[in-house]
């Protein structure tokens, strides 16, 4: 078994940290999606300026020495450009400036440096882009632009001419194709290797990739169930459900979810309708599709085959590329102190955590054991990754320092909190844990979290942030109901609950909180009359909509 590459270790470490980051941004990078857009903002007539290595955020090293070739260096503006592109692509979500921003930028810098290393591999091994494919990609891009007048004008304004843009696009596309060719060469895998992996991991694969897409309904009696099945057999499931007012719920049934005898009925069904009793209830399953992985031939037909094949390719590429880099002494160095700290915190092996902790302590604390004030908050925040890893570690060698680590972590968090005044959600979360009696910190944390999820509520996407929604709702409710909490904090919490219910399209509940707010703080900075009228209008519209639905249903039932 080959040693894991640092890239793999980074991914494993940040899996736990995804829980506190903007989930979309974190998952996008952890999944290794390709970054998009051109890396260069072309300035018409600009000459290529020779730059110094001191201007970089990182560079390749060969045999321990920095590469003198500027094409293997990464500059701050490249990271900033990609960071901006990424945020724009995800609708400019709110980003924690102390935790999420340096975390994501570090991953971008490492992504660039890994690509530089692959381009260096290609140069050494004379791997070039497929010229025919490159020409086709460039032609396709330029043809699409020429068809879009608005986009064409935008590009001319930015690049000076379509010709300038084409040169930049060709250069970037060529690098993309070269990197793909390197991955294909180092990650090449045969069908026999996939089959061998399947046979060695068959039980796990069958468990994971055997599934059925079904619709199901529950009934209170056997007669009701049989009546539905009879009508569904005669008229079809949809018509039967409509006539009998039965709700069919979609569900993906995976192996191991239900008792084995029930799953066998569904996975081995000879009919699309499966009816069976279970736990004093009666179920009907409309089996839409079944995917099995019990033989290699069946497994090849599943989406799991592509997933496993991709995993094996990535692992083989990672192992082979690491081996080549080690043999040829190719690596990279991060110069930026923030990115360097974050990368070390994320990628260091467990056996090295103690020495990394000591190194960070020496960097961040003075001789009196107090946090230094001349270190960037973003660099200090990397200590939290190391602290979390040590506290959660089962390594007995780390037991002796865990209490010290917790104490120093608390000092780091307090230092960042004082410097940033609540701009970091994660720092607020930790401060809330340290100071449960401080209601202002609790309110600031829930407000920060609410600001983060509110855009989802306004577009009906509450289901995507349900855990955060429950936490925020309960948090504000606790503050609102606490008579020992300052009146201003209680009032602000009640306002948040009013605002949240309005966003959730719950005007009646929102009105209850509006009334409560008016009772405890009638001079609150809100136009109560206007707010009440707005809620009354929402209630009126909801009732009208419900009445229309009821009328339609009555007409449908009468016409049967």
pLDDT at 554 over 80: no
Sign of CA dihedral 342, 344, 349, 353: negative
Per the structure, how many domains does the chain have?
A: 4
Sign of CA dihedral 13, 14, 16, 20: positive
What pLDDT, on a 0 to 100 scale, did the predictor assign at position 18? 42
Domain-located, residue 464: yes
Q: What value does the mean pLDDT take over residues 174-178? A: 96
Angle 6-17/377-392 helices, nearest 10 degrees? 90
- At residue 249, φ and ψ (nearest 5 deg) are -105, 130
pLDDT at 223 over 50: yes
Domain-located, residue 263: yes
Q: What value does the mean pLDDT take over residues 274-299? A: 92
Q: Give the strand order in the sheet containing 273-278.
A: 249-254, 211-219, 281-291, 273-278
Domain boundary among 172, 187, 202: 187
How much of the chain exceeds pLDDT 90, in percent?
A: 79
pLDDT in tens, 482-539: 999 999 999 999 999 999 999 999 999 999 999 999 999 999 999 999 999 999 999 9
- pLDDT band, residue 31 (cuts 50/70/90): very low
Tokens of 238: 């949809």
Domain-located, residue 521: yes
Same-domain status, 180 and 245:
no
Same-domain status, 95 and 183:
yes
**Exposed (0-12), middle (13-18) or buried (19+): which is 72, by Cβ within 10 Å?**
buried
pLDDT at 1 over 50: no
**Which H/E stretch holds residue 341?**
helix 337-347
Domain boundary among 271, 291, 311: 291
pLDDT in tens, 179-209: 999 999 999 999 999 999 999 999 999 999 9
Same-domain status, 149 and 21:
yes
Q: What mean pLDDT, rounded, does the chain reach? A: 89
In angstroms, the CA 555 to CA 560 distance is 9
Strands 249-254 and 211-219: antiparallel
Same-domain status, 169 and 120:
yes
Cβ atoms of 350 and 13 within 8 Å: the answer is no
Q: What value does the mean pLDDT take over residues 59-75? A: 97
Using CA atoms, how far residue 536 sits from 363, 501, 545, in Å, is: 59, 14, 14
Same-domain status, 71 and 173:
yes
Same-domain status, 55 and 151:
yes
Domain boundary among 243, 259, 291: 291
- pLDDT band, residue 560 (cuts 50/70/90): low
Same-domain status, 141 and 267:
no
What pLDDT, on a 0 to 100 scale, did the predictor assign at position 290? 93
Same-domain status, 166 and 18:
yes
Domain that residue 417 falls in: 349-431
Tokens of 97: 């400036």
Domain-located, residue 558: no
Tell me the three state secondary structure of residue 410.
Answer: helix
- At residue 62, φ and ψ (nearest 5 deg) are -125, 120
Inter-residue long-range contacts of 344-347, CB under 8 Å, 24+ positions, other chains counted: 344/382, 345/382, 345/383, 345/385, 345/386, 345/389, 346/9, 346/10, 346/13, 346/14, 346/106, 346/385, 347/6, 347/9, 347/10, 347/13
Domain-located, residue 15: yes
Cβ atoms of 189 and 312 within 8 Å: the answer is yes
Domain-located, residue 163: yes
Domain-located, residue 306: no
Same-domain status, 94 and 179:
yes
In angstroms, the CA 106 to CA 7 distance is 12
Same-domain status, 172 and 220:
no
**The domain that contains 524 carries what CATH number?**
1.25.40
- At residue 254, φ and ψ (nearest 5 deg) are -105, 150
Report the candidate in 301, 302, 262, 264 with the shortest Cα–Cα distance to residue 278. Answer: 262
Domain-located, residue 279: yes
pLDDT at 3 over 50: no
Q: What value does the mean pLDDT take over residues 280-284? A: 89
Same-domain status, 34 and 153:
yes
Same-domain status, 56 and 129:
yes
Cβ atoms of 320 and 186 within 8 Å: the answer is yes
pLDDT in tens, 150-173: 999 999 998 999 999 999 999 999
pLDDT at 10 over 60: no
Least confident of 57-71, 134-148, 264-278: 264-278
């Amino acid at each position: 078994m080959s040693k894991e590459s640092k890239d793999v270790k980074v991914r494993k470490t940040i899996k736990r940290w995804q829980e506190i980051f903007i989930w979309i941004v974190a998952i996008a990078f952890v999944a290794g999606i390709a970054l998009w857009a051109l890396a260069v903002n072309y300035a018409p007539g600009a000459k290529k300026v020779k730059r110094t290595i001191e201007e970089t955020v990182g560079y390749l090293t060969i045999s321990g020495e920095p590469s003198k070739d500027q094409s293997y260096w990464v500059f701050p503006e490249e990271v900033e450009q990609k960071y901006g592109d990424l945020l724009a692509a995800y609708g400019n979500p709110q980003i924690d400036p102390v935790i999420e921003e340096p975390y994501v930028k570090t991953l971008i810098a490492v992504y660039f440096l890994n690509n530089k290393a692959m381009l260096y591999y290609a140069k050494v091994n004379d791997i070039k882009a497929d010229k025919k494919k490159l020409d086709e990609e460039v032609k396709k891009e330029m043809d699409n632009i020429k068809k879009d007048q608005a986009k064409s004008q935008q590009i001319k304004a930015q690049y000076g001419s379509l010709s300038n843009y084409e040169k930049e696009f060709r250069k970037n596309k060529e690098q993309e194709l070269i990197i793909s060719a390197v991955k294909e060469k180092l990650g090449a895998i045969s069908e026999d290797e996939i089959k061998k992996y399947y046979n060695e991991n068959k039980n796990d694969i069958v468990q994971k990739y055997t599934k059925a897409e079904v619709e199901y309904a529950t009934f209170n009696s056997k007669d009701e169930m049989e009546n539905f099945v009879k009508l569904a057999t005669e008229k079809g499931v949809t018509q039967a459900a409509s006539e009998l007012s039965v709700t069919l719920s979609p569900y993906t049934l995976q192996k191991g979810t239900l008792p084995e005898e029930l799953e066998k009925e569904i996975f081995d069904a000879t009919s699309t309708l499966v009816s069976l009793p279970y736990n004093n209830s009666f179920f009907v399953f409309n089996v839409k599709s079944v995917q099995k992985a019990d033989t290699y031939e069946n497994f090849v037909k599943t989406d799991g085959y592509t997933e496993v094949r991709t995993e094996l390719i990535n692992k083989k590429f990672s192992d082979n590329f690491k081996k080549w880099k080690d043999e040829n002494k190719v690596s990279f160095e991060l110069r930026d102190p923030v990115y360097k700290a974050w990368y070390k915190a994320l990628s260091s092996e467990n056996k090295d955590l103690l020495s990394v902790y000591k190194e960070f302590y020496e960097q961040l604390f003075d001789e009196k054991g107090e946090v230094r004030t001349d270190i960037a908050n973003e660099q200090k925040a990397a200590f939290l990754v190391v602290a979390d890893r040590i506290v959660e570690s089962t390594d007995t060698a780390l037991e002796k320092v865990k209490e010290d680590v917790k104490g120093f972590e608390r000092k780091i968090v307090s230092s960042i909190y004082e410097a940033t005044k609540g701009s970091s959600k994660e720092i607020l979360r930790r401060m809330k844990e340290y100071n449960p009696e401080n209601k202002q910190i609790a309110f600031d944390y829930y407000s920060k979290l609410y600001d983060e999820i509110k855009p989802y509520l306004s577009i009906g996407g509450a289901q995507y942030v349900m855990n955060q929604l429950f936490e925020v709702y309960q948090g504000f409710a606790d503050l609102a109901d606490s008579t020992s909490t300052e009146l201003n904090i209680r009032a602000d919490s009640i306002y948040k609950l009013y605002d949240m219910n309005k966003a959730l399209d719950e005007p009646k509940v929102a009105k209850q909180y509006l009334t409560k707010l008016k009772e405890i703080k009638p001079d609150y900075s809100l136009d109560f009359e206007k707010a009440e009228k707005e809620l009354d209008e929402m209630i009126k519209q909801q009732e009208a909509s419900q009445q229309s639905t009821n009328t339609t249903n009555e007409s449908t039932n009468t016409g049967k």
